[in-house]
Amino acid sequence: MKKLVYIFALLLTIYNRPAEAQTAAWDSTFRPPAYNIKVDQFRSYKSSPRDFVFLGNSITANTDWAELLSEKRAKNRGISADITFGVLERLSDVTKGMPSKIFLLIGINDISRNIPDELIVRNLQRIVSRVRTESPRTRLYIHTLMPVNHTFNKFPNHYGKDQHILFVNDAIRKLADNEKVFVIDLYPAFLDKDKRLISEFTHDGLHLTAAGYKNWVKLLRDGKYLK
């Protein structure tokens, strides 16, 4: 009987996967060219239990959070092209400072590199567990992934994978609910009527313009996540 239940659950998981099968090769060991340089830089900076750490990839990295928020406690720990495995590898460098808050946005590059959705979600779960263990007083805020806009035609590996973004975002919402951590739902706030990243908010279909970052900050302020 248990075997039948297991088989049914396995078939249900496969049936409910996004339409585009994730059969392409993927590599968990990929690290961006500047990864080690940035990690060394981050390690050289002072940390404080009052810090607000913004952790993620280029979407996080491409702004000055302290300037944007007029908040000296805001620290940028984004690395361009990073994936969930890269964040896990450097997470202890963040948690050892026992920051007040961590704002996490990661996963879109995993999708672009064909890392399976279930594994992305598992890595996010591992990040949650480790933050709780390594820095139990830190408040963790997990962002849903933003949509992309294929009309810019600059990041083909990120396009045509909307179902994977939706899958991961749904899992993030469930994870946040189950683990009692905060979710900041960026996806609907950046979506146009054609289910694409709003053109005003991006200059290349993936990364944000100044208007895009202002929209993000509005969500943070409206949700009172910066208090």
Tens digit of pLDDT for each residue in 150-169?
A: 999 999 999 999 999 999 99
**Cα–Cα distance measured from residue 119 to residue 201, given in angstroms and rounded to the nearest whole number:** 29
pLDDT, position 7: 37
Residue 94 lies in a domain: yes
pLDDT, position 23: 58
Helix (H) or strand (E) run with residue 93 in it = helix 84-95
How many folded domains does the chain comprise?
1
**Cα–Cα distance measured from residue 159 to residue 113, given in angstroms and rounded to the nearest whole number:** 11
Residue 111 lies in a domain: yes
Residue 22 lies in a domain: no
CATH number where 162 lies: 3.40.50.1110
**pTM of the predicted model, to two decimals?**
0.90
One-character DSSP codes across 1-54? -HHHHHHHHHHHHHHTS-SS---S---TT---TTHHHHHHHHHHS---TT-EEE
Tell me the one-letter amino acid at 202: T
Residue 155 lies in a domain: yes
Residue 4 lies in a domain: no
Q: Tokens 């970052």 label which residue?
A: 213
Residue 9 lies in a domain: no
pLDDT, position 25: 86
Instruction: Give CA angle at 91 (216, 132), nearest 5°.
Output: 85
Using DSSP's 3-state secondary structure scheme, residue 216 falls into helix
Q: Tokens 């996080």 label which residue?
A: 60
Domain interval for residue 101: 47-222
Q: 84-95 and 117-134 are packed helices; what angle lies between their axes, rounded to 10 degrees?
A: 0
Mean pLDDT, consecutive 10-residue stretches, the chain (227 aa), reads 40 46 80 98 98 98 98 98 98 98 98 98 98 98 98 96 98 95 97 98 98 98 96
Separation of CA 43 from chain center: 21
Residue 31 lies in a domain: no
Residue 27 lies in a domain: no
